[in-house]
A and B are shown apart, each in its own frame.
Chain A
Amino acid sequence: MPTHPVDVAAYKDKVAFVGVGTTNRYGTIPEMDAFGMAAEAFRNALNDCGLKKEDIDGVVVGSGTGQPTPYDQMCHVLGLYPRVMLPYSNGGRLSGPSVVLMASLVHSGACNNVAFIYTNNARTARVRFGGEDEGASPINPAYGYTSPGAAAAMHLRRYMAYFGGTEQELGAIAVAERKHARMNPMAVMKDRPMTIDDYMAARYIAAPMRLYDYCIINDAAIVIIMTTTERARALKQRPIYLVGTGQRSGYSHYRFDDEWTYPAYRNVADQAFKMAGITNKDVDVLSYYDAFAGFLPFMLEGFGFCKQGEALKWIQGGRIEVGGEMPVNTSGGHLSETYVQGRGILVENIRQLRGECGQRQVKDAAFAMFMGVTPNASSYILRRG
């Protein structure tokens, strides 16, 4: 581990999210290509904050997992000629770090208003997320070992063998997120109630993980706009300030961590909480990168929301549901709202702090925190303006 601490607190309170826009719906969007989806989300984001497209002088284009969207082509399609124009790799693990990138760009003065444009038509493109040639692992396919979920299941099995916990207890995560989705008109699964019995009756994918422990795959685009606090105050929406961040690399899917990824998450949490000047108890809205429900126990423990080995017990009884002590992924997350590699969760965190979440609104939400998955363990903390 790096031994010198860094002080990224320079941009604390100095930058704010001011605009969010999404496609008008999530799900299967066969009538538009990935660029058309991005354009819809971009129009909505501009309308949300009141900026004109000419005001956007920083553009970061995230790759989705479906149709490729080269950054230069994206800017041409949207008629954008910004100062800063960057590509950003896909991988939801990079969604936390992308917040740091946006903050660095506007706080440094490299640009005034930065838009992160992310679009993904993995559903229409029929991406399978398993069974392909595993570029990073020349050996695993020979043993039928493939898919990101299998790696999550591998770590979860060992966790359950050491700390106990049942598959039914794990189900509390998918059930909670589905309840949230039922209160979210945009959620892909809004009309699909799910009980713990439904969860247990679903087939295994890579045991111990079942179907509903996996994210859905759908089409969606999301655009998020950030600027400096000074400019943010002149715009339409209540600014949502970035007050804490942390990053630390941990194991990759191709290595296996004897320490439950705990040191990486612990270190990230320490950075983010210290910068924000708050503790776990101050967090009103908690979120995590939920490609798979099996990530959450490791994160809850590393981030200090419960003791090591106790997460599966801790999440029972509605604690992580809206109305509970620590609501987690209030939109329904990737499991039940929309698969957009972390950006939908960022939108939800911003909207919760704006108070726009209707039935699923967490009362008086002031702080929202995100826990991002290894190998890019990361976190951001947002504060209501």
Chain B
Amino acid sequence: MAYEKPRPRIDEVAQPYWDGAKQHKLVCQKCKECGGMWFPPTSVCENCLSPNLEWVPMSGKGKVWSFIIMHQLYYPAFASDIPYNIAVVKSQEGPKFVTNLVGVKNEDIKVDMPVEVTFDDVDDNLTLTKWKPAAG
């Protein structure tokens, strides 16, 4: 069955992030001038305004910064998921990622619980980065 949920809008700035996800690698932008890191992708370092950026591999480790449980139906394709979790994960390196947590019941999610990245190949053209409770 075709994947019907909203797809990320992938422009040239964000393309390397989604290419990385497809290869099951979490990557993030880093400023070559000042070392700053941030997410979501942009064309300039928000700290020093340098356009001199690189994509670097991430540890894939982080903590749940916060989460909500969505009960309202906004996107029809999420109907069968309700109530579903939406989390913000703060990576070990600093940047925060909006995501869904997998491998954990909604009622067991806690702020600051350790998590690690995982990859959801939703179809041939898209892999979503998701996060799950850290092993061990």
Q: B68 contacts which of A153, A161, A255 (Cβ < 8 Å)?
A: A153
Contact residues in B for A203 (Cβ distance below 8 Å): 71
The reply to whether B128 and A142 contact each other, CB–CB distance below 8 Å, is yes
Between A146, A147, A254, the greatest number of chain B beta carbons within 10 A of the residue's beta carbon is seen for A146
Contact residues in A for B75 (Cβ distance below 8 Å): 131, 141, 144, 146
Asked if B105 is an interface residue, CB under 8 A from chain A, the answer is no
Contact residues in A for B96 (Cβ distance below 8 Å): 255-256
* Assembly CA distance A162 to B63 (angstroms): 14
* Assembly CA distance A206 to B73 (angstroms): 10
Nearest CB in chain B to that of A139: its residue: B8
* Assembly CA distance A155 to B66 (angstroms): 7
* Assembly CA distance A143 to B81 (angstroms): 11
* Assembly CA distance A205 to B82 (angstroms): 11
Contact residues in B for A131 (Cβ distance below 8 Å): 74-75
The reply to whether B69 and A142 contact each other, CB–CB distance below 8 Å, is no
* Assembly CA distance A144 to B71 (angstroms): 11
Asked if B44 is an interface residue, CB under 8 A from chain A, the answer is no
* Assembly CA distance A143 to B68 (angstroms): 12
The reply to whether B65 and A256 contact each other, CB–CB distance below 8 Å, is yes
* Assembly CA distance A133 to B8 (angstroms): 10
The reply to whether A144 and B84 contact each other, CB–CB distance below 8 Å, is yes
Q: Which of B5-34 contact A (CB under 8 A)?
A: 5-11, 14
The reply to whether A206 and B72 contact each other, CB–CB distance below 8 Å, is yes
* Assembly CA distance A137 to B40 (angstroms): 8
Contact residues in A for B134 (Cβ distance below 8 Å): none
The reply to whether B65 and A204 contact each other, CB–CB distance below 8 Å, is no
Asked if A130 is an interface residue, CB under 8 A from chain B, the answer is yes
Majority secondary structure of chain B interface residues (helix, strand, loop or mixed)? loop
Nearest CB in chain B to that of A159: its residue: B66
Q: Which of A180-237 contact B (CB under 8 A)?
A: 203-209
The reply to whether A146 and B68 contact each other, CB–CB distance below 8 Å, is no
Q: A145 contacts which of B10, B98, B111 (Cβ < 8 Å)?
A: B98
The total of interchain contacts (Cβ-Cβ below 8 angstroms) comes to: 97
Contact residues in B for A207 (Cβ distance below 8 Å): 68-71, 83
The reply to whether A138 and B40 contact each other, CB–CB distance below 8 Å, is yes
Contact residues in B for A255 (Cβ distance below 8 Å): 96
Contact residues in A for B72 (Cβ distance below 8 Å): 130, 147, 205-206
Asked if A313 is an interface residue, CB under 8 A from chain B, the answer is no
Interface residue total, chain B, C-beta cutoff 8 A: 33
Nearest CB in chain B to that of A203: its residue: B71
A138 with B71, Cβ < 8 A, contacts A158-B111, A256-B96 known = no
Contact residues in A for B6 (Cβ distance below 8 Å): 141-142, 144
Asked if B121 is an interface residue, CB under 8 A from chain A, the answer is no
The reply to whether B8 and A144 contact each other, CB–CB distance below 8 Å, is no
Contact residues in A for B78 (Cβ distance below 8 Å): 144
- Expressed in whole angstroms, the minimum distance between the Cβ of A225 and any Cβ of chain B is 38
Asked if A365 is an interface residue, CB under 8 A from chain B, the answer is no
Asked if A363 is an interface residue, CB under 8 A from chain B, the answer is no
Contact residues in A for B69 (Cβ distance below 8 Å): 204, 206-207
- Expressed in whole angstroms, the minimum distance between the Cβ of A132 and any Cβ of chain B is 9
Q: A142 contacts which of B7, B65, B83, B111 (Cβ < 8 Å)?
A: B7
Asked if A83 is an interface residue, CB under 8 A from chain B, the answer is no
Asked if A140 is an interface residue, CB under 8 A from chain B, the answer is yes
Q: B98 contacts which of A133, A143, A158, A161 (Cβ < 8 Å)?
A: A143
The reply to whether A143 and B74 contact each other, CB–CB distance below 8 Å, is no
* Assembly CA distance A233 to B68 (angstroms): 51
Nearest CB in chain A to that of B110: its residue: A161
Q: Which of A111-149 contact B (CB under 8 A)?
A: 128, 130-131, 133, 137-147
Q: A256 contacts which of B7, B9, B68, B88 (Cβ < 8 Å)?
A: B88
Contact residues in A for B68 (Cβ distance below 8 Å): 150, 153-154, 157, 206-209
Q: A150 contacts which of B8, B40, B70 (Cβ < 8 Å)?
A: B70
The reply to whether B86 and A143 contact each other, CB–CB distance below 8 Å, is yes
Contact residues in B for A133 (Cβ distance below 8 Å): 9
Q: Which of A151-175 contact B (CB under 8 A)?
A: 153-155, 157-158, 161-162
Contact residues in A for B84 (Cβ distance below 8 Å): 144
Contact residues in A for B70 (Cβ distance below 8 Å): 144-145, 150, 206-207
Known: A139-B40, A154-B67. 9 other contacts (CB 8 A): A138-B40, A139-B14, A144-B6, A144-B86, A157-B111, A158-B65, A158-B111, A208-B68, A256-B88
